[in-house]
């Protein structure tokens, strides 16, 4: 039996994380939160199940965790380009980008995801560009029509030359896309490795967590595990 918005909010309240709430309250935010981590939210989303109508109701909530659940349970077959364009404008200054466009995003499973990513990569809006490369990372695990080696080689070169002029979160997303592309086959790996050497490690400010090291794309692309896998 399908759950209601009230039932989902009650479920989130039951799973509230006081430590997460305290961390959330350190900065002024537009949304409230039950402080639940993404791993736990994924488990709750599986319990709730895919529900396009419920996803729409939860998206309108002022609770961050409910919005994340919305993105996780939406039905990719019922998503529309219009919905994606509307939601990308409501990502709370990029706070929800990671679930919207990467992290095994529902949007990446939509039939128009590749076309959308191509359009957004050319957008003047940095949040759309960030989401575009998040989608490209997710799509690099698949084989959508049009995303052949020639297209991806062109993307590698674009990332190589454009990344340092981008704002920080777009750089991070580009770095993720480069890693995803470089894992597809040996030819793309070699091109991605050359680009990663030219780019170097990416410094990303993750806020309170000062223990984070720079994003080392080259390290990921040259790992023994990946090289062995690509040579198999």
Give the model confidence (pLDDT) of 131-188 as tens digits: 999 999 999 999 999 999 999 999 999 999 999 999 999 999 999 999 999 999 999 9
Residue 142 belongs to a domain: no
State the chain's mean pLDDT as an integer.
93
User: How many domains are there within the chain?
Assistant: 1
Give the model confidence (pLDDT) of 3-12 as tens digits: 999 999 999 9
Residue 198 belongs to a domain: no
Residue 61 belongs to a domain: yes
Nearest 10 degrees: Cα torsion 128, 130, 133, 135:
-60
Predicted confidence at residue 212, as pLDDT, reads 53
Residue ranges for the chain with pLDDT beneath 50: 210-211
Nearest C-alpha neighbor of 179 from the set 214, 121, 223, 220: 220
Predicted confidence at residue 207, as pLDDT, reads 67
Predicted confidence at residue 210, as pLDDT, reads 46
Nearest C-alpha neighbor of 183 from the set 142, 127, 131: 142
Q: How far is CA 153 from CA 161, 175, 200, 220, in A?
A: 13, 14, 19, 18
Range of the domain at 54: 1-75
Predicted confidence at residue 177, as pLDDT, reads 97
Residue 105 belongs to a domain: no
User: Which 8-state DSSP code applies to residue 158?
Assistant: H
Residue 60 belongs to a domain: yes
Predicted confidence at residue 114, as pLDDT, reads 97
Q: By the 8 A CB rule, do 83 and 55 touch?
A: no
Residue 117 belongs to a domain: no
Predicted confidence at residue 58, as pLDDT, reads 97
Residue 48 belongs to a domain: yes
Count how many Cα atoms sit within 13 Å of the Cα of residue 108 in the half-sphere of its side chain. Answer: 23
Residue 232 belongs to a domain: no
């Amino acid at each position: 039996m399908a759950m209601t918005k009230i039932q989902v909010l009650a479920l989130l309240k039951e799973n509230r994380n006081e430590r997460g709430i305290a961390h959330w309250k350190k900065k002024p935010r537009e949304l409230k939160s039950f402080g639940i981590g993404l791993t736990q939210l994924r488990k709750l989303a599986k319990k709730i199940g895919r529900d396009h109508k419920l996803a729409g109701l939860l998206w309108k909530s002022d609770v961050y965790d409910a919005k994340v659940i919305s993105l996780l349970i939406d039905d990719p077959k019922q998503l529309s380009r219009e919905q994606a364009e509307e939601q990308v404008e409501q990502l709370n200054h990029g706070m929800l980008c990671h679930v919207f466009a990467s992290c095994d995003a529902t949007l990446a499973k939509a039939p128009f995801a590749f076309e959308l990513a191509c359009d957004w990569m050319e957008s003047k809006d940095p949040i759309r560009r960030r989401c575009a490369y998040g989608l490209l990372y997710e799509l690099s695990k698949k084989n959508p029509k049009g995303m052949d080696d020639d297209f991806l080689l062109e993307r590698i070169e674009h990332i190589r030359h454009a990344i340092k002029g981008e704002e920080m979160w777009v750089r991070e997303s580009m770095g993720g896309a480069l890693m995803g592309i470089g894992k597809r086959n040996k030819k793309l790996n070699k091109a991605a490795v050359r680009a990663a050497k030219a780019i170097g490690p990416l410094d990303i400010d993750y806020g309170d967590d000062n223990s984070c090291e720079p994003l080392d794309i080259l390290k990921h692309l040259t790992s023994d595990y990946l090289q062995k896998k690509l040579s198999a």
